[in-house]
């Protein structure tokens, strides 16, 4: 029972404190290094840094995504059963939309690695272009449409706004829009030969498409740490939300680190990351309000929002300083 108490009650609080510490350090770093000379680089150097950072970051996310999906895919291939990671039992809502989602997303998972490896290869440009069309199709139809919208509408929204899965359905719908919008714009900018923006939107496509995979990976890891802690009687039915918290934070950190190294912390990245960060704030509020009450939950959410806004404003100020110095040098 001690383990259950820690994981259920203290786990979201520990994540919040770690997040606040990282945000304060990030704000301090931006204030201290806003005039640092290493920030400046030539356009060709920025292109190279973007390609290297995005490729490495994409491959890292691909490995984590494969690890998150692997147990479920193994169960399907060996038993023919679609497994519910959250409830640790066979899925009861298996229909055509779910199978389309599983098949097309599995194809997407296999092909996205090829896309990452061929992106900067002139000799593989045709392969990258053809493969990219299939990746875009499977992402939009398999992940956004079939899994994100159709299946969610049929099952998560079936009992209305007061249903037990309505909140999860809203999350999934927004995630579907993240996949569809970023994938579409990645294709548009590729056709317009604006490859800097193409890569930004392609990275954000990975950011949203791998969200369920990273979530599943954390669910498996948390189950291994304390198998019974996440049962409905201990989590007020919020087991899925608990696993979302570290997944949200990992994706936020991953995107910010990759894009900061690439020198591409722009409005595209910030807008997508902000939505993921708000998901974490909302999820933390939902789990803390059950165990500690509204006052504690609202306080934690308020501090998190304030620090997130402070980082955003500090980053915006630093970027203006950098742009001003760069224009003066030119």
Three-class DSSP labels, the chain: CHHHHHHHHHHHHHHHHHHHHHHHHHHHHHHHCCCCHHHCCCHHHHHHHHHHHHHHHHHHHHHHHHHHHHHHHHHHHHHCCCEECCCCEECCCCCHHHHHHHHHHHHHHHHHHHHHHHCCCHHHHHHHHHHHHHHHHHHHHHHHHHHHHHHHHHHCCCCCCCCCCHHHHHHHHHHHHHHHHHHHHHHHHHHCCCHHHHHHHHHHHHHHHCHHHHHHHHHHHHHHHCCCCCCHHHHCCCHHHHHHHHHHHHHHHHHHHHHHHHCCCCHHHHHHHHHHHHHHHHHHHHHHHHHHCHHHHHHHHHHHHHHHHHHHHHHHHHHHHHHHHHHHHC
Nearest partner of 102 among 91, 116, 115, 88, judged by Cα: 91
The token duo for 177 is 């829009």
In this predicted structure, what is the pLDDT of residue 115? Answer: 92
Q: Would you give per-residue pLDDT tens digits along the chain (330 residues)?
A: 345 566 677 889 999 999 999 999 988 888 876 555 444 444 555 677 788 889 999 999 999 989 998 888 888 888 888 877 766 678 777 889 989 999 999 999 999 999 998 877 777 888 999 999 999 999 999 999 999 999 999 888 888 888 877 888 899 999 999 999 999 999 999 999 998 899 999 999 999 999 999 998 988 888 787 777 777 667 766 777 788 999 999 999 999 988 888 878 788 999 999 999 999 999 999 889 988 899 999 999 999 999 999 998 887 776 666 555 544 444
- The pLDDT, as a whole number, for residue 31 is 82
Residues 6+ apart with CB under 8 A from 292: 9
> How far is it, in rounded angstroms, from Cα 104 to Cα 140?
10
Q: Is the Cβ–Cβ distance between 308 and 277 less than 8 Å? A: yes
In the numeric block, which tokens belong to residue 199? Answer: 């890569």
Question: What is the rounded CA–CA span in Å between residue 326 and residue 330?
Answer: 6
Distance CA 138, CA 147 (A): 11
Closest CA to 203 of 82, 61, 313: 61
User: How many whole angstroms separate alpha carbon 153 and alpha carbon 176?
Assistant: 12
């Amino acid at each position: 029972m001690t383990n259950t108490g820690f994981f259920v009650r203290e786990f979201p609080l520990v994540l919040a404190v770690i997040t606040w510490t990282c945000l304060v350090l990030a704000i301090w770093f931006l204030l201290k290094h806003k005039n640092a000379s290493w920030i400046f680089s030539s356009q060709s150097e920025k292109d190279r840094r973007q390609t290297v950072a995005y490729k490495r970051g994409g491959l890292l996310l691909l490995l984590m995504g494969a690890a998150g999906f692997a147990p479920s895919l193994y169960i399907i291939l060996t038993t023919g059963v679609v497994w519910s990671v959250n409830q640790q039992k066979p899925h009861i809502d298996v229909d055509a939309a779910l199978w389309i989602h599983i098949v097309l997303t599995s194809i997407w998972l296999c092909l996205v690695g090829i896309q990452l490896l061929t992106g900067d290869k002139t000799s593989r440009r045709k392969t990258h272009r053809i493969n990219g069309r299939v990746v875009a199709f499977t992402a939009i139809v398999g992940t956004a449409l079939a899994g994100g919208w159709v299946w969610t509408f049929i099952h998560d929204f079936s009992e209305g706004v007061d249903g037990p899965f309505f909140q999860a359905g809203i999350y999934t719908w927004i995630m579907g829009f993240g996949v569809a919008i970023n994938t579409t714009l990645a294709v548009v900018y590729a056709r317009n030969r604006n490859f800097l923006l193409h890569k930004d939107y392609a990275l954000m496509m990975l950011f949203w498409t791998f969200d369920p995979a990273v979530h599943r990976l954390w669910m498996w890891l948390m189950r291994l740490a304390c198998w019974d802690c996440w049962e409905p009687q201990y989590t007020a039915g919020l087991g899925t939300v608990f696993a979302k918290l570290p997944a949200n934070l990992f994706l936020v950190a991953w995107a910010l680190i990759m894009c900061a190294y690439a020198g591409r912390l722009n409005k595209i990245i910030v807008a997508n990351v902000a939505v993921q960060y708000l998901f974490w704030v909302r999820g933390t509020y939902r789990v803390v309000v059950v165990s500690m009450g509204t006052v504690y939950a609202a306080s934690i959410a308020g501090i998190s929002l304030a620090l997130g806004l402070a980082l955003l404003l500090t980053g915006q100020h630093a970027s203006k300083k950098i742009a001003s110095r760069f224009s003066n040098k030119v």
